[in-house]
Every structure is written in C-alpha cells, then in structure tokens.
Amino acid sequence: MSTGTESSSAAAGLRGVVAAQSAIGDVNGEQGILIYQGYNIHDLAEHSTFEEVIYLLWNGRLPNRAELDEHTARLRRNYEAPQQVIDLMKQYPKESDPMDVLRTAVSSLDLYDAKGQGTDRDAAVGAAVRITGQIGHIAAAWDRIRNGKEVIAPDQNLSIAENFLYMLRGEKADADEARMFDIALILHADHELNASTFTTRVVAGTLADMYGCVTAGIAALAGPLHGGANTNVMKMLIEIGDPAKIDAWIDQALAEKRKIMGIGHAVYKTEDPRATWLRKFSKQMADKKGEQKWYDMSQAIEKAMLEKKGMYPNVDFYSASTYYLMGIPLDIYTPIFAVSRISGWTGHILEQYANNKLIRPRAEYIGARDLKYTPIAER
Ligand code: COA
C-alpha cells in the first residue's frame, strides 16, 4: 500500500519534463536566449512589430509586405468587440478584478461569434484574428467603465500597441512611447510551455474551441506566480517606498520565506533576455518623467537579489515601473500581458489542432488502497 511518504518519481511542477513538440518558441535557460520560430527575441524587438510577430507565430515564417498588410488590415477590421459584450461589462460589479473581467468577457465573445467554434485551420485562424483584435478593446474598456468614463472605440488607423494606449488613456501616445509599448508586446508574445500556454494546449487537445482555450489561458495567467507578478512588483516598490529601506525589507522577506516578485524564473538561470529590454524602458520612462525613484529602487533590488540569492529579474520586474510611469493602473499590467500573450496562445492552439492528440498524462498515485467502506453510522 502507498503511504504517501515515499519519494516521488514525478518532477515537482513538471520541471524539465518535455510535454509537447513545438516549432513556435524556445527558451534556453542556461544562456538566456529566447527565440520565436527561429528568430532571436533581440532581433525581433529591434526590427519587427507586434503585428508581424503575430503573423510569425501563426504561420511559422515572416510575411512579405503584401501578406503583412493583409494580416494587419484583417486584425484592424476586428478591433471592435461586440457591443453586447461591452454592454454586459457595464453590468459587472465595478470593483471586479480586471483579469476576472477579461476572462469573463473573452469567454462571452464565443456567444457572438457564429463561426468561432471550428477547430479546422480556417475557422480557428478566424477566431484567433477576432480574439486577438478584440482583447485590447475589452481590457481597456474595463478601466474606463469602472471609472465611469466613456468607452473609447478602437481606431483602425492605429497599431495594436497605439490603439490599446489610446483606448485606455483617451489620448494617443507619442511615437517613442508607442514603439516602446509595441516592443513590450513583442517581448511578452510567447514563452514556450509556460503555465498559461500549456493550459491552452491541454484545452485545445480536447478539441474545445479557440474561445474556451483562451479563456483557460487567461485564468492561468492571472495567478501571482505567473502573469500576476508584474502588478505585485509595483505594489512591492510602493510598499518599500524608500530606497534606504530596501536591504532590510528584502532580508525580512527572505527570512519569512516570502518570494520577491519579478525575481527568479522556472527556466532562466541567468538574465531573462526580455528583462534586458524592459530595464532599458524603465530607465527611458524615468528620464522622460523625471522620476528616477522606481528605476533606482528596482536596480537596488536587482543587485541585492543577485548578491543574496544569485537570482535575476524576470520579464515582470521592470515592466512594472515602466507601465507605472506610463500612467497605467497597477491592475491593468496583467491584462496587458494577456493582450500580448494571446498571440502565443493562439499560435500554440493552432499548432495543437493541426496535429492533435488528447493530452492525458498519468498521476503517481500516493493515496491509500484496499480500504474497506464503513457505513456512515459506524464512523
Ligand atoms: N524570491 C525569493 N526566493 C525565491 C524566489 C524569489 N522571487 N524565487 C525562487 N526563490 C527561492 C525559493 O524560495 C526556493 O528556495 P529554497 O530552495 O530555499 O526553498 C528556491 O528559490 C527555488 O524556488 P522555486 O519556487 O522552487 O523555483 P521555481 O523554479 O519554481 O520558481 C518562480 C519559479 C517564477 C515561480 C519563482 O521564482 C517565483 O515565485 N518568483 C516570483 C514570482 C514571479 O516573478 N513570477 C513571474 C515569473 S515570469
């Protein structure tokens, strides 16, 4: 009989387990290299756009000019979420968490998409275009609705990055900020079998539709150990408040075995290549706003964690102070992650559908066996 005390043969958290074959992205945790479909993230951040990266993730190759134009136009035609979904959001409790709202509203998109349920390539790409186009409208609309402001309709002349900032803040971003945000979307687009992407593939493996898969992905992303970390980084910076308090704060957190948000990674054992860009953006925003405090504090925490634990910042660490100085509300950071990661999720779902096998692993049973049922009156 299993006692539950013997050592497990299953890797905790499935660390190091290869659970799928994929051509979409790869993380080299030792060397800190991230690639999408063969292209280094630094190259894409330098030269590409988020729209082009979406094409790459869905099609496995870079588009030519005509293909990119057609793909971009198709996304733009699908920027606007159904009015019924926005109207429904107006009924939600105003204090609702934006990730709960995003999950619920994206799930409800399914009800207004007569053609979104197929899992063949054409139907699934159609649904992917609509969700990817509309998710920014939903995420931005919620912040307006909860603050009693008019929902801003998407502008088809703007890129996904420009449009999101416009719909959220009510004014168009300048070119530098729009490009910075576009790169941030590129950096968050895919990350191999992270928890939310794995979730979408498990759901896709049952041949559930694109909306069901993405809804599950949003649920997984919301957790503080995954996409929710960026919001918590900013909360931590605000809580510490004073650069002079950093060392003592970290020592106490570590003594209490609390995790420092935005630090550490399940795969990277060196600098996360996305953090390299976001550190630069955090500094760029600090200079632009003339407010160095959050960048300086982040640098000090990064240094302390490297010295004390040999740990590096991940993607969420510097995105927090970057978004903060862009005037984005703290709890919208994780929805922004979803606005980007939708591209990787949908890419993985398309890949799963194209060569599907139900994902059904086994558990190592550690419970009791052969117990004899006792009638309730005798217990
Ligand atoms: N702060 C302090 N200690 C940390 C830490 C952090 N952010 N991340 C990991 N550790 C420590 C753990 O306490 C553990 O120490 P122990 O061996 O003394 O118990 C050890 O490092 C291994 O931690 P574990 O959680 O098992 O590693 P993991 O590979 O599962 O961690 C994360 C990956 C991302 C879940 C983890 O680093 C974390 O929780 N980070 C903060 C949340 C975050 O930023 N998430 C976004 C990820 S992109």
**What confidence score (pLDDT) does residue 228 get?**
87
Task: Give tens-digit pLDDT for 312-337.
Answer: 999 999 999 999 999 999 999 999 99
**CA dihedral in degrees (189, 209, 229, 339; nearest 10)?**
50
Catalytic residue list contains 247: no
Exactly one of 137, 226, 265, 348 is catalytic; name it. Answer: 265
- For the question of whether the overall pTM of this predicted structure is more than 0.75, the answer is yes
How far apart are the C-alpha atoms of 320 and 278, rounded to whole Å? 9
**What confidence score (pLDDT) does residue 3 get?**
40
**Phi, psi angle pair for 225, to nearest 5°:** -85, -5
The answer, yes or no, to whether any atom of ligand 1 lies below 6 A from the CB of 229, is yes
The CA R_g of the chain, rounded to the nearest whole Å, is 22
**What confidence score (pLDDT) does residue 10 get?**
77
With CA atoms as reference, report the closest residue to 285 among 249, 253, 328: 328
The answer, yes or no, to whether any atom of ligand 1 lies below 6 A from the CB of 263, is yes
With CA atoms as reference, report the closest residue to 106 among 149, 77, 136: 136
Which numbered atom of ligand 1 lies nearest the CA of 257? 13
The answer, yes or no, to whether any atom of ligand 1 lies below 6 A from the CB of 192, is no
The answer, yes or no, to whether any atom of ligand 1 lies below 6 A from the CB of 63, is no
The answer, yes or no, to whether any atom of ligand 1 lies below 6 A from the CB of 238, is no
Task: Give tens-digit pLDDT for 242-276.
Answer: 999 999 999 999 999 999 999 999 899 999 999 99
The answer, yes or no, to whether any atom of ligand 1 lies below 6 A from the CB of 27, is no
Q: Which amino acid does the sequence have at 52?
A: E
Catalytic residue list contains 348: no
Which numbered atom of ligand 1 lies nearest the CA of 233? 44
* Residue ID of nearest Cα to ligand 1 atom 47: 226
Which numbered atom of ligand 1 lies nearest the CA of 262? 44
DSSP-derived letter for residue 206 is T
Low-confidence ranges of the chain (pLDDT < 70): 1-8
Exactly one of 143, 190, 272, 316 is catalytic; name it. Answer: 316
